[in-house]
């Protein structure tokens, strides 16, 4: 027993170096985090090893991500734990363990999950030892849990957004139980650091800077499923980024439901703008992105930090949702059309080469054709570089779901088509302004349609395809933007001295 490791005696920063095969899992688990989760990782590792030996092959795990960048980052954390306990990651759902990390922003996301579960049921019938887990925002909805308990009883594990750090502990419970394991928390104020992460890209990474949302827009389920805002400590964020840079990361995306309110609930409050200043100081980091910004909280200080920065990308996602002040008030967005337009003008004046993208909802309860025209007017004035346009989706539990004057489907479709056309026309014109320039692009992957091309991303988030090979991936290279094809470019690599930063009109 002397050769065994007792995790209760291991400092947090040394946990990643611990040989989990030597951890004593016959004693009681630590009461404190993250040592407790490493104990359960060691326990899971034994279970997975025995099952692999029984089957005479490795065990495979597949994570399917539904939803936003926050879900994608959460899935990288799940992947890190799965790898450390012995699973090999796969994109094939015909695996030994399948996890759906779900979204619930719109109803069609829920329906997609239910449809895919039917497919998993058929796979599990042919592979009885297969395990299935559901997590993410949809799992925070009581109605979804009730439906899964009743109609999808073959699911083995359900957990939500607040206890994702307990993944290894929940896996242990799943392996040791013959029943569906359900562990849903209504909220939490806990943030657990220093757990394993398996990143999708070696050269870029998302970074959670905060969790939850306090805004309670009347159409949005997110505050109910993600909980109240809680910010990570500044030094934890900076330490994580420094470590990522040491591993080859050149671009980070700072993630939060509303990054502009970062730091308000910390013992020593700090603004998001000051966080950006500190991140910019990290040597070796070349690009900084962030999302999402709520217009009501976007400060002059933040605009100046973006303007003066050499690393913050020239892209700002600034959700509009509606151009009608009347509808914005019903949405509880806490700004008017005029205030939004003033903010957009200020941003364009201070940072002329910035790309502004947005979210727009069409068909909110009570919306009239004249409200849609107000939205179109904002699109034409701001000249968005791209927009994600959605038809309003009723989410049970939100104030908007019980509002009168739900808009008929045919009227919604008519308004949606009008908005979409103006958005696309405006975006094409904006993207085309870069033609003939040389811009830096981060080479991200081999083009999926043509393996002779590399797909890269400009600072302003525009996609460009250019001739190259895999050796370029992860590098920032100058690219001549030769041909604009609507929303992307075909380009050619050029010398580093040719890079331009021309104000866009």
pLDDT for 349-388, tens place per residue? 999 999 999 999 999 999 999 999 999 999 999 999 999 9
8 A C-beta contact, residue 433 and residue 504: yes
**Given the DSSP bridges, would you call strands 230-231 and 210-211 parallel, antiparallel or unpaired?**
antiparallel
pLDDT at 496: 63
Give me the pLDDT at residue 270, please. 96
Task: Extract the tokens encoding 449.
Answer: 């349609």
Residue 193 has pLDDT above 90, yes or no: no
Convert the pLDDT of each residue in 242-290 to its tens digit. Answer: 999 999 999 999 999 999 999 998 999 999 999 999 999 999 999 999 9
Write down the pLDDT at residue 2. Answer: 52
Rg of the Cα atoms in the chain: 24
pLDDT at position 1 is 43
d(CA 462, CA 459): 7
CB 450 within 8 A of CB 460: no
Q: Is the pLDDT of residue 401 over 80?
A: yes
Q: Where are the alpha helices (H) located in 134-251, listed in sequence order?
A: 142-151, 167-176, 222-226, 234-246
Q: How far apart are CA 102 and CA 63, in angstroms?
A: 10
Q: How many Cα atoms sit within 13 Å of 59 on the Cβ side?
A: 26
Rounded to an integer, what distance in angstroms lies between the CA atom of residue 65 and that of residue 167? 16
* Vertex 286 angle, CA 285 and 291, to 5°: 90
Count of all residues that appear for the chain in the document: 505
Alpha helices in 191-297 (DSSP H): 222-226, 234-246, 272-280
Per-residue model confidence (pLDDT) at position 104: 87
- CB 358, CB 318: distance < 8 Å: yes
CA 10 vs CA 18, 42, 44, 194, 430: distances in Å: 9, 14, 19, 13, 55
Q: What is the rounded average pLDDT for all residues in the chain?
A: 94
Backbone angles phi, psi at 316, to 5 degrees: -130, 120
Res 505 pLDDT > 70: no
pLDDT more than 70, % of the chain:
97
Q: Is the pLDDT of residue 329 over 70?
A: yes
């Amino acid at each position: 027993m002397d050769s065994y490791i007792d995790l209760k005696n291991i400092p947090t920063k040394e946990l990643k170096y611990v040989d989990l095969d030597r951890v004593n899992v016959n004693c009681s688990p630590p009461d404190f985090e993250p040592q407790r989760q490493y104990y359960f990782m060691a326990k899971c590792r034994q279970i997975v090893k025995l099952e692999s030996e029984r089957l005479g092959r490795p065990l495979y795990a597949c994570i399917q991500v539904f939803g936003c960048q926050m879900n994608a980052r959460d899935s990288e954390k799940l992947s890190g734990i799965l790898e450390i306990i012995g699973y090999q990651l796969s994109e094939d759902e015909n695996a030994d363990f399948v996890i759906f990390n779900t979204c619930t922003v719109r109803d069609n996301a829920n329906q997609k999950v239910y449809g895919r579960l039917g497919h998993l049921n058929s796979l599990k019938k042919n592979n009885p030892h297969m395990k299935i887990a559901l997590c993410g925002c949809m799992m925070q909805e009581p109605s979804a849990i009730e439906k899964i308990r009743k109609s999808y009883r073959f699911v083995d594990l359900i957990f939500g957004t607040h206890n994702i750090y307990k993944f290894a502990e929940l896996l242990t419970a799943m392996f040791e139980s013959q029943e569906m394991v359900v562990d849903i928390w209504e909220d939490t104020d806990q943030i657990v650091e220093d757990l394993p992460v398996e990143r999708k890209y070696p050269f870029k990474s998302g970074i959670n800077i905060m969790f939850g949302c306090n805004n309670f827009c009347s159409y949005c389920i997110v505050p109910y499923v993600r909980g109240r805002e809680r910010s990570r400590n500044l030094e934890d964020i900076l330490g994580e980024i420094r470590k990522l840079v040491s591993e080859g990361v050149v671009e980070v995306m700072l993630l939060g439901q509303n990054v502009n309110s970062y730091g308000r609930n910390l013992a020593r409050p700090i603004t998001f703008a000051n966080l950006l200043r500190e991140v910019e100081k990290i040597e070796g980091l070349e690009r900084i992105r962030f999302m999402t910004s709520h217009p009501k909280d976007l400060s002059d200080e933040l605009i100046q930090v973006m303007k003066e920065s050499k690393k913050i990308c020239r892209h700002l996602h600034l959700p509009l949702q509606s151009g009608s002040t009347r509808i914005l008030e019903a949405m509880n967005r806490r700004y008017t059309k005029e205030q939004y337009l003033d903010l957009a003008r200020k941003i364009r004046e201070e940072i002329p080469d910035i790309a502004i993208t947005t979210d727009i909802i069409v068909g909110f309860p009570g919306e009239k054709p004249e409200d849609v025209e107000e939205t179109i007017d904002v699109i034409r004035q701001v000249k968005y570089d791209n927009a994600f346009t959605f038809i309003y989706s009723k989410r049970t539990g939100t104030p908007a779901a019980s509002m009168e004057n739900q808009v008929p489907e045919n009227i919604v479709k008519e308004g949606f088509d009008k908005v979409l056309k103006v958005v696309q026309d405006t975006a094409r014109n904006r993207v085309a302004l870069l033609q003939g320039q040389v811009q830096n692009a981060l080479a991200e992957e081999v083009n999926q349609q043509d393996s002779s091309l590399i797909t890269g991303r400009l600072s302003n988030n525009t996609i460009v395809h250019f001739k190259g090979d895999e050796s370029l991936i992860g590098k920032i290279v100058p690219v001549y933007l030769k041909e604009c094809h609507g929303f992307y470019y075909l380009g050619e690599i050029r010398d580093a001295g040719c890079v331009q930063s021309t104000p866009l009109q």
